[in-house]
Amino acid sequence: MAAALDEARSAAAEGEIPVGAVVLDQDGRIIGRGRNAREGISDPTAHAEVLAIREAARALGDRILDGCTLVVTLEPCAMCAGTILAARLPRVVFGGWDEKAGAVGSVYDLLRDGRLPHPVPEVVAGVREAECVALLREFFAERR
């Protein structure tokens, strides 16, 4: 989570919503990094999770991220949850809950929706939650 928090801080420094993500391979090495970049590259899909997953897939040369773990500072949204399922990530770890758009247990629970034809990943929530949430609160407080 420390590396994901570093990515989130970098996003904030660039004027982006401070969300950061990393993908770890089965040996715990970082093979993908991402931070929100929607404003900077004018791309509505440039969420931290999507960018980290794309980089990990390139690193492995495969769209299936078997044995990998996504670590992200904020509960993934529906788009990111779909990307997680498409990549067949077996584990997702996140920090803060997203009570407005979360799709991994708060508003929706797409990862564990048995109607979808994907394996159900393990979800670990609330890791360094206070730190992750504080970054977001500070970011939005400065903009009000």
Active-site choice (7, 49, 55, 75)? 49
The answer on whether 77 is annotated among ligand-binding residues is yes
Is 118 within any annotated ligand binding site?
A: no
80 is in an annotated binding site: yes
Q: Per the structure block, which two tokens stand in for 14?
A: 């660039």
Between CA 75 and CA 8, with CA 130 as vertex, the angle to 5 degrees is 60
**Does the active-site annotation cover 129?**
no
Contact partners, residue 62, CB within 8 Å, separation at least 6: none
DSSP secondary structure of 11-25? HHHTTS---EEEEE-
List the binding residues for Zn(2+).
47, 77, 80
Q: So which residues are the catalytic ones?
A: 49
List the binding residues.
47, 77, 80
